[in-house]
């Protein structure tokens, strides 16, 4: 019986620790999500437009593992609507804000973004590339849009070499060109 009692105590300690860790992460993300989303969406709805609003809420605040996390994003100059009614570009900006809010809790050593700009217009690409440029972690971006990759420190190009049936790689250090451009 004392073995069961001890196991019950250990189980409760683990549950308590799990909830504390989850709530610490959730709180950091909830505090960060609004400002990140506002930064990503500022000036995307027209010149000098304020950014949108984003919120995270728990469905069950007493037992967060009993419900889900509700993510609400309202693009600038638009009224509230359910997430599934947002455009693909608006959903992309919301998802990126959520990812960057996670980084507020635990910054990764690097991030890989694979064509996250595919559904974005020029203003949104500029906003995400600016945010990534200021991020405090190394970011590897896979993109076909020059508005994104010209802001990088280096380019890596990969293409198919049909005669040799291999892939060919070209690397280019852009920092050399940044130094030249800033001195002119």
Each residue's pLDDT tens digit, 11-58: 999 999 999 999 999 999 999 999 999 999 987 766 566 889 999 999
Task: Give me the percent of the chain exceeding a pLDDT of 70.
Answer: 93
Residue 43: the pLDDT is 76
Residue 176: the pLDDT is 85
The SS3 of residue 157 is strand
Tracing tokens 């997430």 back to the chain, one arrives at 83
pTM of model > 0.85: no
- pLDDT(182) > 80: no
The SS3 of residue 69 is strand
Residue 144: the pLDDT is 83
Average pLDDT, the chain: 87
Q: Quickly count: other Cβ atoms within 10 Å of residue 118's Cβ.
A: 13
Tracing tokens 């890596």 back to the chain, one arrives at 156
d(C-alpha 38, C-alpha 21), whole Å: 26
Instruction: Quote the DSSP letter at residue 42.
Output: T
Band of residue 153 on the pLDDT scale cut at 50, 70, 90: confident
Band of residue 151 on the pLDDT scale cut at 50, 70, 90: confident
Of residues 144, 147, 52, 44, the one with CA closest to residue 94: 52
Q: What tokens appear for 137 in the block?
A: 């972690």
């Amino acid at each position: 019986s004392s073995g069961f009692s001890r196991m019950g105590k250990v189980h409760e300690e683990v549950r308590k620790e799990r909830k504390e860790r989850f709530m610490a992460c959730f709180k950091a993300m909830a505090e960060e999500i609004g400002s990140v989303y506002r930064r990503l969406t500022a000036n995307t709805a027209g010149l000098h437009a304020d950014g949108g609003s984003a919120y995270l809420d728990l469905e069950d605040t007493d037992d967060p593992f009993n419900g889900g996390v509700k993510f609400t994003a309202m693009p600038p100059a638009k009224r509230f609507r359910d997430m599934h009614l947002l455009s693909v570009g608006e959903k992309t900006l919301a998802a990126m804000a959520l990812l960057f809010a996670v980084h507020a809790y635990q910054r990764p050593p690097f991030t890989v973004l694979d064509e996250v700009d595919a559904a974005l217009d020029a203003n949104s690409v500029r906003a995400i590339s600016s945010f990534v440029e200021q991020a405090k972690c190394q970011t590897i971006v896979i993109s076909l849009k020059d508005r994104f990759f010209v802001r990088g420190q280096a380019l890596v190009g990969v293409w198919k070499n049909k005669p040799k049936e291999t892939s060919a790689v070209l690397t280019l250090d852009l920092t050399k060109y940044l130094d030249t451009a800033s001195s002119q």
